[in-house]
Structure 1
């Protein structure tokens, strides 16, 4: 039965804009480092720095950005972020045509886009519940996740074609235009949110950030979700860093075979996105989260179990399982957080969550380097699988174990209301 959205036309506009933007983002993720390497004489260090500038802002400013998102109108915040990213990305093909493009400009653009993306991602996660409504949150996240998964495949092909036809730097114009498309869909929205209520004297950003963290820690559902997500993300980041080492080193696979395995993994992402709602309705949300965590851990565990001889087969199955489970887990965690978090605290909760996600990703990469060097690749994959599976503990205990639709949980004859509601 299809879910009804509170503002179906505006959600459709958001979905279209984010779908186009997801394709553009994939193009720039490939074209930007390619331009550094092939056009400007960059090194592996330069490429690594470009990647770090894309994610590091989430770790450094995610929580404080959430404070400002709670203070500002969400749609206007997203429009401002898109306008800034349009100008920043658009400056690269312009500089290329004027023959003044430098590595320094690429670094500045990557940093500016990274900071603005923090604000945009926190705002869009906070705005979705407004447009979708309580009954449409899961369906809305399913559609956005599906678009992003499809963009992982189609965007890579588009990037290759555009770079072949236009060149690497001009191809980045596609990402700039995708921000323009997103900006236009936002300006065409008819819904106008009321300005955030601000009572009394302005409070410090740090105090408001602490309030968001206090909500995460005081509500048992949000606290367990944060612990589960942190554990899973740490294990996944550790495992992902070792997968390529296993594929090329232990498995002796070719780049073409590895590319095929990862493409099939993207199919798993899509399949998980379109089926996540049906799965939760059939086996309950708590069991869905636990099952997706265990499937993710099993995906990494398959590689050392299969060994070197069956490396290609196990890598294909592994990537499909991980992609499928990742979609299901992320959609339901995000939807549940959006359902039970008070609207006035949504930015701070989302900002803190994103900081944790990217922070554990950084830590997982470092852990992989240590474990892979000291103990070897296969033991490292076993360890990462074990860490991931530990995350299931947090969703198999109350109150998440008995979670019901709408963010409520049954505890005997009582029910715990969504965070922010009075019992």
Structure 2
């Protein structure tokens, strides 16, 4: 298998039409997916009037990532990746249309929402795992950092404007039409993916050996473990994510209860993280030209620790906003470096499994 990017090395990543197709399609879907993400918890609340029901849906969304990630990685490594992307897109379209029909005929239930939500999240995870394994096949190795930075910049920007825009559209169109609009954006993504030429990733050794699922899992873990830099960053990311989750869980309560922040202040605090992420995606390419990867990783860790320290010692909401800025910057900075390193150092036929170990 020979990566497509090896045949041509354009001056800028935006001259690579295959990257442009995938990046454009996923950005549009990211934007419209806020309609689904906003509508689903509201529908659940209106049906149940229970915070527990909404929390259960959040827990269900995490199941594919925690328990199915490695199996999805094995599937991605074993099967033609373009077919996997197409399959995951069409399954998401069908699920959204089923939800829209259930709402249209008023036969929706909590359990149908749970089932559809779980299935949709699973195929969404399948798509993104495949997407990140396809990227090094269509982008030159020297431009992976630029590609990941561009994707992260657009993702963070969309996440800043998406919720507000989704709220306005949801009020204007209603639940059913909003879900159909999300499905329509996925169909547009299918058109883009269909036009992308992706080299076949199927490994002859994999099929000849007929390796078991357990052996495939061990191979993915071994590949991650033997690459010391990747393993170290994985462990560091684990602790950073734990710290961010713990602080994020009480952030809004602390700001409202202890710092007397208003609702508008909360908006500024949360937006500061997005601004930090956008800045990180903007400057990372320049920094990689001046410093080696180890120093950049240490820099990201230092910023994460500094941001958490600010949160711990804060005495006013605008100081909290500064802490969230540094945390948002470090989170995006570390994620871009982490993704790029995995794509650079991992053989393509095993990248799906290595991507699954996202602790």
Q: Which residue of 1 aligns with 2:217?
A: 209
Distance 2:49 2:28 in 1: 29
Q: Deviations over 1:191-235 (max 9, x none)?
A: 443543244241211111111101111221222122122122122
Q: Which residue of 2 aligns with 1:37?
A: 45
Of residues 163, 184, 189, the one that matches 2:196 is: 189
Of residues 137, 142, 148, the one that matches 2:155 is: 148
* 2:347 is the counterpart of 1:350: no
Q: Deviations over 1:273-325 (max 9, x none)?
A: 12111122223322221111211221122133232xx2x11121112111111
Structure 2 alignment gaps of length 5 or more: 1-9
RMSD: 1.9
* Contact in 2 for aligned 1:53/1:111 (Cα 8 Å): yes
Of residues 251, 270, 295, the one that matches 1:262 is: 270
Q: Which residue of 2 aligns with 1:381?
A: none
Deviation at 1:4, TM superposition (A): 4.7
CA pair 305-163 structure 1, distance change in 2 beyond 3 A: same
* 2:50 is the counterpart of 1:9: no
Mapping of 1:12-411 within 5 angstroms?
12-38=20-46, 40-193=47-200, 195-197=202-204, 198-307=206-315, 310=316, 312-351=317-356, 353-354=357-358, 356=359
Deviation at 1:84, TM superposition (A): 0.3
Distance 2:178 2:140 in 1: 37
Deviates more, 1:130-139 or 1:193-202: 193-202
Distance 1:124 1:269 in 2: 21
> Relative CO higher for 1 or 2, CA cutoff 8 Å, sep ≥ 6?
2
Deviation at 1:252, TM superposition (A): 2.1
* Contact in 2 for aligned 1:73/1:196 (Cα 8 Å): no
Distance 2:291 2:92 in 1: 42
Q: Which residue of 2 aligns with 1:385?
A: none
DSSP-derived class of the 1:172 partner: helix
Q: Which residue of 2 aligns with 1:416?
A: none
Q: Deviations over 1:3-52 (max 9, x none)?
A: 555981111100001101111222221111012223x2341111112212
* Contact in 2 for aligned 1:137/1:335 (Cα 8 Å): yes
Deviation at 1:170, TM superposition (A): 3.3
Distance 1:154 1:218 in 2: 41
Q: Deviations over 1:101-144 (max 9, x none)?
A: 22222111111011112211211111111111211211111111
Deviation at 1:89, TM superposition (A): 1.4
Deviation at 1:91, TM superposition (A): 1.6
Deviation at 1:255, TM superposition (A): 2.0
Moved over 6 A (4+): none
* Contact in 1 for aligned 2:148/2:336 (Cα 8 Å): yes
* Contact in 2 for aligned 1:265/1:319 (Cα 8 Å): yes
Deviation at 1:245, TM superposition (A): 2.7
TM-score with structure 1 length normalisation?
Answer: 0.78
Structure 1 alignment gaps of length 5 or more: 357-423
Aligned length: 349
Distance 2:188 2:160 in 1: 20
Deviation at 1:272, TM superposition (A): 1.1
